[in-house]
Structure 1
Amino acid sequence: MPADLPDLRHPAAHRPGHGDPDWSAMRRVLVVRPDNVGDVLMTGPVFRALRAAAPHASLDLLASPAGAAAAALLPEIAGVVTASVSWQQLDLVPGDDPDAALVADLAGRGYDAAVVLTSFSQSPWPAAEVARRAGIPVRVGTSKEFGGGLLTHWVPAPPDEEHQVDRMLGLLAAAGVPSRGHTLHARIPDDAATPLAVVGTRYAVVAPGASCPSRRWPAARFAAVVSALAADGLTVAVTGTAKEGDLVEAVAGTAGVPLAGGLGLGDLAALLEGAEVVVANNSGGVHLADAVGAPIVELFAGTETVDQYRPRSTRAEVITRPVACSPCRQLVCPFDQECLAVGPEEVVAAARRLRTVAVG
């Protein structure tokens, strides 16, 4: 902050007497990110920075059941605490204290610090209160709103539009942990299986699923992309979860190879790593492809802001349409999904450009 300007930050932010934590002396650090797979993969640069700053510490992740699987792909993570935390539930299970079991679990682990990671629309204060009750002495997070002393190191929030990785690294930097780079990374397990017998050595991956309907480009348009890439001489693997089996079959048609529910996350990482191009919605698959260096064409719905989530570790083209209602964060679009009013020919052209660069 320039010396000639008054400090107008809230007095609870960067409080006097609360200097940077001594990360080098810590033995156990908990990183809190109870979100989806893609959100966990974006914490890779956070763990890389913490590993350098706290070389003797065991670094653990507090994850949701959905996001926990991604921890195995980040080599810096020593352990995972899996929990369905109250502050991430749309329909909270009745009870006087839904996080009591989590508090007891964390209290028994002896953490020296908790780093609470959030998107700009999330609050760190519920997680900070759980950490306080569990006796974790250092609690770091960022927020716009005041939450008392629940965070021992409260960092004022950056601009909303900042990329999620930069937001998290900025939080660490304000607490004395320098960045070690913003690129994503992922460790492919030694036992990961890539179905090369099915897809061969020259292939594309199409992932038509997403966490909610509002993020899904229409299946018929994905199917047209599959047909075009197959006509280019590529085997096209169409991936998805077991629940997305019908969608995967419809998109694959007779031109693609349907792979629904047969791949673990490590297997999917191995498959994506060898792809000439990946075509997907804004989903965890995009962040996984980004982490393993696969070229990406991303169909980005208006549920979020592109610049907060765009791939930056690999070659990528993000395709969307600007709309007045974005970012809406709706699970189901109440209109006609104008943000994804994109024809297959535009997506195929982007995929071909990325493949040409790779071959060149």
Structure 2
Amino acid sequence: MTRRALIARLDSVGDVLLCGPAVRAVAASDGIDEVWMLCSTIGAPAARLLPGVDRVLEWDCPWITANAPAVTPEVMADLRGLLAEARPDVAIILTSFHQSPLPLALELRLAGVPRIVGASVDFAGSLLDVRLKPGEDFPEDQPEPVRALTIARSAGFDLPHGDTGGLRMGTDPRGEDLYASAGPYVVVHPGASASARRWPTGHHEELVRLLAEDGVRCVVTGGPGERDLTARVAGHDGVDLGGDTELGVLADVIRRASVVVCGNTGPAHLASAVGTPVVSLFSPVVPPERWAPYGVPHLLLGDQRADCRGTRATECPVPGHPCLTSVTPSTVREAVLGLAPELVGLGSRERSIA
């Protein structure tokens, strides 16, 4: 008889990628034959690229998903239908510090799931069979992958021998078709879902220009809704891939890059999962101890003592957005060259070859 685990992570791409080590721990268990994931429609493409995942179910959660749907009988009936299809033997609910596993745990319990695991600051009663208390059973200020793996370990799931717990994901090799580079390049990703996490567009433009003067090619990436932004940032010096990369292809483009420049957003975690260094333009609205690039060389830029720190704001509450506007393009250029020494002097080498 197949024993199935259901792992729930109901927010965005980066959040799903960060639970990859926990997923591998569950998949490696002798008592589990299949791992299914329950994710939002935004996060599902990332789940399909995680090692150890056999199937992905999509559902947009009214209490977690950004732009959450209304709680209606129809929305909840959709969830119940998915749970009836999954029929898991164990469910592991992975959440961040500001999210509760209890509403989903209630639905899982009503669906007859015999074992439910999660972390909750609130009393869970009979909703959780294994309950970790954040701040008591584990510290809150730790990387998100460690938090997720801690939740999995509390239920007896651990990484196999030789797995050091880094992020991993599959990629789509069509990335080489989009940008088959004869030499090194830097990925610049100017967008982010929250304006509080975006470095100014003009700063991105200037960075691409400065790196072009160094002979460094920049590939500018973004989603379908960011084509105007990526075209502006790429200008005449960069390669504009805005809207042209599905998640697996984007991961492959990032995998081939020397460095990625981006804010605290999905591509930072894509880079972590494929082993590419990151220049992280990190707004302190959330703690870097939890959300900084994990397991790869990175430089964290941005005023981490700014007045917006810890607010979880999506729009900067401080006039002028000083935590990031204070970071100059020349500073980022130096950070890029510091993380990728092979780029230093590239322009002069190319001129001498020519």
TM-score (norm 1): 0.88
Q: Is the 8 A contact 2:216 2:343 kept in 1?
A: no
| 1:152-204 residue CA offsets vs partner (Å, 9 max, x unmatched) | 1111212221211111111122221224432101112355554234x443211
Structure 1: runs of 5 or more not aligned: 1-24
Matched residue SS, 1:260: coil
Task: State the percentage of identical aligned residues.
Answer: 36
Which residue does 1:21 correspond to in 2?
none
Matched residue SS, 2:7: strand
CA change 1:79–1:220 in 2 (3 A) is same
Which residue does 2:260 correspond to in 1?
278
Which residue does 1:127 correspond to in 2?
104
Q: Does 1:187 align with 2:170?
A: yes
Matched residue SS, 2:48: helix
Query: Once the 2 structures are TM-superposed, how far is the Cα of residue 332 of structure 1 from its aligned partner?
Result: 1.1
The aligned length equals 334
Q: Does 1:230 align with 2:215?
A: no
Q: Is the 8 A contact 1:293 1:314 kept in 2?
A: yes
Output aligned runs, 1:1-360, within 5 Å. 27-54=3-30, 56-89=32-65, 92-93=69-70, 95-96=72-73, 98-157=75-134, 158-179=138-159, 180-189=163-172, 193-197=176-180, 199-321=181-303, 322-335=305-318, 336-340=320-324, 341-356=326-341
Task: Name whichever of 264-273 and 93-102 sits farther off.
Answer: 93-102
Q: One-letter code of the match for 1:87?
A: W
CA change 1:269–1:94 in 2 (3 A) is closer
2: distance between equivalents of 1:137 and 1:29?
11
Structure 2: runs of 5 or more not aligned: 345-354
1: distance between equivalents of 2:32 and 2:256?
35
Q: One-letter code of the match for 1:329?
A: R
Query: Once the 2 structures are TM-superposed, how far is the Cα of residue 357 of structure 1 from its aligned partner?
Result: 7.1
2: distance between equivalents of 1:64 and 1:121?
17
2: distance between equivalents of 1:333 and 1:350?
24
1: distance between equivalents of 2:255 and 2:96?
27
1: distance between equivalents of 2:97 and 2:241?
35
Task: Name whichever of 206-215 and 70-79 sits farther off.
Answer: 70-79
Matched residue SS, 1:88: coil
Q: Is the 8 A contact 1:107 1:136 kept in 2?
A: no
Q: One-letter code of the match for 2:121?
A: K
Matched residue SS, 1:62: strand
Query: Once the 2 structures are TM-superposed, how far is the Cα of residue 118 of structure 1 from its aligned partner?
Result: 0.5
TM-score (norm 2): 0.89
Matched residue SS, 1:205: strand
Matched residue SS, 1:60: strand
Q: Is the 8 A contact 2:184 2:343 kept in 1?
A: no
2: distance between equivalents of 1:267 and 1:100?
34
1: distance between equivalents of 2:156 and 2:2?
13
CA change 1:265–1:94 in 2 (3 A) is closer
| 1:271-297 residue CA offsets vs partner (Å, 9 max, x unmatched) | 111111110111100000111111110
Query: Once the 2 structures are TM-superposed, how far is the Cα of residue 97 of structure 1 from its aligned partner?
Result: 6.3
Aligned-residue Cα RMSD (Å) equals 1.9
| 1:88-141 residue CA offsets vs partner (Å, 9 max, x unmatched) | 255542534632221122123221011000001111111111211221111000
